Amino acid sequence: MYYDRSILENMHTSKLLKILRSPEINLAEHFPNPAKNAEFREMIASVILATDITKHNKKLIKLTENVKATLEYKKLIANNQEVPREIEQKRLCLDNPTHKKRIVKNMVHACDIGNPAQAYDLYVYWSARVTQEFDNQTKAEYKRGVEVTSYMKYKNSQGFYEAQISFARNLALPLWEQIGLLFEGAREAVENVNVNIKKLEEDKAKAQAQARA
């Protein structure tokens, strides 16, 4: 249906827009201006499609450049210094609709992979449920005689903690760190991820000790 491009994200977009067109909600009633309606729908689609994890690294590199330029810009302005053209071009400005959309895309993506930023018990609870869902998928694949997605197969608790540490450290944390540099209110999430990584490492060590016992 989606030509193997952002399949899950395209499905989410399609389902959401269908819900918004339902008689109970009737999006058009809230946006009678066709142009505003189209603008809102485009925003929804672009933000959801930006959560595709395959685009994560490319978007993070771009955001990191933007955040660095934004901080340098603020520092130069505070010291009444001239702003180089390159920094002016790369900095983020909330008054700029294009920049605002870029920030929203990154923030929604950060929330999409933001489970490690929750309180530890809640984080592990949902991670366990997702892990179970993945394992169920591998069993269904095996029964249907299709190629099994091996990395989704549950092996043991040690492997579970290793996967969570890798996900939190390499995906969630770098993105949240950049958002935390832009918005003070996001720094709590950064701290939570760091704390949770330490707790995951502790639980991984316990699992290793139990396996050896």
Q: Which residues contact 151 (CB under 8 A, 6 or more apart)?
A: none
The structure tokens listed for 15 are 């389902």
Residue 120, pLDDT score: 96
The amino acid at 125: Y
In the three-class reduction of DSSP (H, G, I as helix; E, B as strand; rest coil), residue 3 is classed as: coil
Residue 123, pLDDT score: 97
Q: How far apart are CA 122 and CA 45, in angstroms?
A: 29
Residue 86, pLDDT score: 95
Residue 210, pLDDT score: 87
How far is the CA of 111 from the CAs of 104, 115, 153, in angstroms?
11, 8, 25
Would you write out the chain's pLDDT as a tens digit for each of its 213 residues?
888 889 999 999 999 999 988 998 888 788 788 888 888 889 999 999 999 999 999 999 999 999 999 999 999 999 999 999 999 999 999 889 899 999 999 999 999 999 999 999 999 999 999 999 999 999 999 999 999 999 999 999 999 999 999 999 999 999 999 999 999 999 999 999 999 999 999 999 998 898 887
Q: Is there a contact between 87 and 148 (Cβ–Cβ < 8 Å)?
A: no
- Cα 131-133-207 angle, rounded to 5 deg: 20
Q: Which residues contact 30 (CB under 8 A, 6 or more apart)?
A: none
Residue 22, pLDDT score: 92
pTM above 0.95, yes or no: no
Report domain extents, the chain: 1-49, 55-112, 113-213
How far is the CA of 126 from the CAs of 81, 92, 114, in angstroms?
48, 34, 11
